[in-house]
C-alpha cells in the first residue's frame, strides 16, 4: 500500500479541515492511503523539543514520514503572502533528505487558506512549491477540467487547493472548495500509484 503524506500547519483549524478533505480524496484512489501529520509552532524557544504526539489532532511529522511517503500534500495558512514559519522551519530541517535525493521524483501538491479573497493564495502556493522543486519533487496542480475551478467565487486555483476562511476565520469551506480539495488529493494519489 502506497502512502501519501499530508503535512500541514494550522493555527485555527481551516487548513486542518482542508488536510482532512485532501486525505479523503487520497483514500479514493486504489491502493493508496493517507498519512496525516502536522508540525509544532515555533517560538523564541523553538529549539526546545516538543512531545511527539500533540494534545489533539495529527501527530508531529518526522523526517522518516517524508522518506517513506510515495507523495506529499503540503498545506499552510497564508502568512503575509507566504507559508507559515512552522512549516518552513520543518522544511529547513530536511537537508539530509535533499542530500540523499530521498524525495526526488515523488509527486507533490500544495494547499492554503487565507483570511481574504486576494490575500495571496497564489503567492503562498508558489512559495510552498519552491523547496519541493529543490528536492526534485514533481508538482501536481489542478486542471481546468475540474468544473469548480471555473464556478468558484472563493478558493480554488490551478496551483493548488485553497479556501477563503474570512477575516474572522469562520467562513465555512464552500462546496467548490471542498470538491477541489478532494480532487487534488485524488489526483495526487492516482499519479503516485502509477509511478
Ligand atoms: C501573521 C498572520 C499573517 C496573515 N497573513 C495573511 C495574508 O497575507 N493574507 C490573508 O488573506 N490572510 C492572512 N492571514 C490570515 C490566515 O491566512 C487565515 O486566517 C487562515 O485561514 C488561517 O488558517 P488556519 O485556520 O489553518 O490557521 C494571516 C494570519 C496571521 C496570523
Residue closest by Cα to atom 22 of ligand 1? 77
**How many Cβ atoms from other residues are within 10 Å of residue 33's Cβ?**
14
pLDDT of residue 56: 77
Q: Tell me if 13 CB under 6 Å of ligand 1.
A: yes
| Between 182 and 49, the higher pLDDT residue | 182
Give the C-alpha separation, 49 to 194, whole Å: 38
Distance CA(27)–CA(110), nearest Å, equals 17
Ligand 1 pocket: which of 42, 78, 82, 117 to mutate (most atoms within 8 A of CB): 78
Q: State the DSSP code for 53.
A: S
The predicted-structure confidence for 30-77, as pLDDT tens digits, reads as follows 999 999 999 998 887 655 566 677 777 899 999 999 999 999 999 999
| Residue 132: strand, helix, or coil | helix
As a whole number of Å, the CA-based R_g of the chain is 15
The number of helices, as runs of H, and strands, as runs of E, in the chain is 7, 7
Whether the per-residue pLDDT at 161 is higher than 60: the answer is yes
pTM, 2 dp: 0.97
Q: Which residues, other chains included, contact 99 with Cβ-Cβ below 8 Å and sequence gap of 6+?
A: none
Comparing CA positions, the residue from 71, 76, 89, 52 lying closest to residue 4 is 71
Amino acid at each position: 500500500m502506497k502512502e501519501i503524506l499530508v503535512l500541514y500547519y494550522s493555527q485555527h483549524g481551516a487548513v486542518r479541515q482542508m488536510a482532512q478533505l485532501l486525505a479523503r480524496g487520497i483514500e479514493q484512489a486504489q491502493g493508496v492511503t493517507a498519512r496525516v501529520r502536522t508540525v509544532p509552532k515555533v517560538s523564541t524557544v523553538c529549539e526546545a523539543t516538543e512531545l511527539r504526539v500533540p494534545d489533539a489532532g495529527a501527530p508531529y511529522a518526522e523526517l522518516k514520514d517524508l522518506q517513506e511517503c510515495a507523495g506529499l500534500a503540503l498545506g499552510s495558512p497564508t502568512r503575509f503572502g507566504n507559508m507559515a514559519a512552522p512549516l518552513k522551519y520543518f522544511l529547513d530541517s530536511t537537508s539530509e533528505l535533499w542530500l540523499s535525493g530521498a524525495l526526488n521524483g515523488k509527486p507533490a501538491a500544495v494547499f492554503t487558506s487565507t483570511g481574504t479573497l486576494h490575500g495571496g493564495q497564489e503567492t503562498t502556493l508558489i512559495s510552498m512549491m519552491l523547496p519541493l522543486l529543490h528536492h526534485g519533487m514533481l508538482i501536481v496542480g489542478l486542471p481546468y477540467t475540474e468544473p469548480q475551478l471555473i464556478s468558484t467565487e472563493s478558493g480554488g486555483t490551478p496551483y493548488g487547493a485553497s479556501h477563503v476562511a474570512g477575516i474572522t476565520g469562520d467562513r465555512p469551506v464552500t462546496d467548490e472548495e471542498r470538491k477541489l480539495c478532494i480532487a487534488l488529493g485524488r489526483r495526487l494519489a492516482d499519479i503516485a500509484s502509477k509511478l
